[in-house]
Amino acid sequence: MIHLFFCPQMTETALRIHTAHPKDITLGRIDWSYFQDGFPNLRIENAPNLRNRDVAFLGTLTTPGEMFAQLAVLFELPRYAVRSFKLILPYFPTGTMERVEEEGQIATAATLARLLSDIPLSMSGPAQIVIYDIHALQERFYFSDSVIPRLETAVHLLKEEIQSLPDVSIAFPDEGAWKRFGRLFSEFPQIVCLKARQGDRRGVLIKEGDPRDRHVLIVDDLIMSGGTLIECKNVLLEKGATCVSAFATHGVFPDRAWMRLENEGFQTIWITDSCPAQAEAVYSRSPFQVISLARDIARILLEPLSPPSD
């Protein structure tokens, strides 16, 4: 039996996981109260009963204000002598700030990795930290040896959505996206775009591939403002694509940026529910379709602690 705890923002996903596996996954309860000064007043219900149990926490750190309370819970749960501990953190929010290009800059991806690396050991060893489609694979090395970063992908969930679509080609908005995802779409024709200077301005160009007469699906790890996505779509249509869709594991959409994409002519924009508030905001809006991670998270939770013996 897995004891799954979760932050308030992940309630719907946790309920989906439990509903699909009621005999294998039970939902833990946390009182997420706050003092008048705004700091959390937290309590893990039935904490002593977690001894020698397999425990997991489903969290989201999509805004800085959510971090302190959830970190407090993460540092406390393993201390109850739990058998194993998994942190499911679908979106690693500081992942786009992973490099220092001049003195004074701070790679906050490394900062968050250091914080999460302080999760205490469980009775069976280090905690697993499960992250979907992290922005840069090398960020795994920001974590210390006291935790095990586990990098997963949502691409196989997207493939289930598009398996019946004809004439699909996969486009990448830049070489970074191609390096992250290209090998995962080896069965599809591929198009690689890049940003280059055109006269006095920078724009998107097609470096490789031909979009003519194809339903082109742009794939990336996240969508922020959507500006590059729109530029890429426009170029693909100009070069003969019949229609353009998009997929990003993480629909971050700061300042309701999803509104910018509503009337841009995309066939479909798929995102997952890794950023729950944003996924809820676009859930019933065209052209968005939300793919739930619940089934895949349940698969990870239910994996045996150690491989079966022969």
Q: Identify any residues that bridge with 148 across adjacent strands, giving them in sequence order.
A: 128
Number of structural domains in the chain: 2
- Measured CA to CA, the distance from residue 231 to residue 218 in angstroms comes to 11
Q: Identify any residues that bridge with 57 across adjacent strands, giving them in sequence order.
A: 5, 87
Comparing CA positions, the residue from 144, 151, 128 lying closest to residue 78 is 128
In this structure, the number of other CB atoms found within 10 A of the CB of residue 43 comes to: 11
Query: Residue 106 domain-assigned?
Result: yes
- Measured CA to CA, the distance from residue 260 to residue 223 in angstroms comes to 12
Domain co-membership, 69 together with 193: no
Q: What is the pLDDT along the chain (310 residues), one digit of tens a residue?
A: 999 999 999 999 999 999 999 999 999 999 999 999 989 999 999 999 999 999 999 999 988 878 999 999 999 999 999 999 999 999 999 888 888 788 988 899 999 999 999 999 999 999 999 999 999 888 999 999 999 999 999 999 999 999 999 999 999 999 999 999 999 999 999 999 998 766 666 678 999 999 999 999 999 999 999 999 999 999 999 999 999 999 999 999 999 999 999 999 999 999 999 999 999 999 999 999 999 999 999 999 999 865 544 4
Query: Residue 197 domain-assigned?
Result: yes
Query: What integer pLDDT is reported at residue 306 of this predicted model?
Result: 59
Parent domain of 238? 155-272
Domain co-membership, 147 together with 177: no
Comparing CA positions, the residue from 88, 111, 85, 80 lying closest to residue 98 is 111
Domain co-membership, 122 together with 250: no
Query: Residue 308 domain-assigned?
Result: no
Query: Residue 282 domain-assigned?
Result: no
Query: Residue 286 domain-assigned?
Result: no
Query: What integer pLDDT is reported at residue 99 of this predicted model?
Result: 81
Domain co-membership, 93 together with 165: no
Query: What integer pLDDT is reported at residue 196 of this predicted model?
Result: 77
Q: Is the peptide bond before 287 cis (omega within 30 degrees of 0)?
A: yes
The encoded tokens of residue 33 equal: 């109260």
Domain co-membership, 38 together with 175: no
Domain co-membership, 65 together with 32: yes
Query: Residue 127 domain-assigned?
Result: yes
Query: Residue 309 domain-assigned?
Result: no
For β-strands 288-291 and 269-272, DSSP reports them as parallel
CATH number at residue 139: 3.40.50.2020
Comparing CA positions, the residue from 124, 123, 119 lying closest to residue 147 is 119
Query: Residue 218 domain-assigned?
Result: yes
Comparing CA positions, the residue from 77, 71, 84, 153 lying closest to residue 114 is 71
Domain co-membership, 127 together with 169: no
User: 174 φ, ψ to 5°?
Assistant: -160, 175
Domain co-membership, 148 together with 159: no
User: 264 φ, ψ to 5°?
Assistant: -95, 5
Domain co-membership, 140 together with 36: yes
Domain co-membership, 140 together with 215: no
Domain co-membership, 92 together with 127: yes
Domain co-membership, 42 together with 74: yes
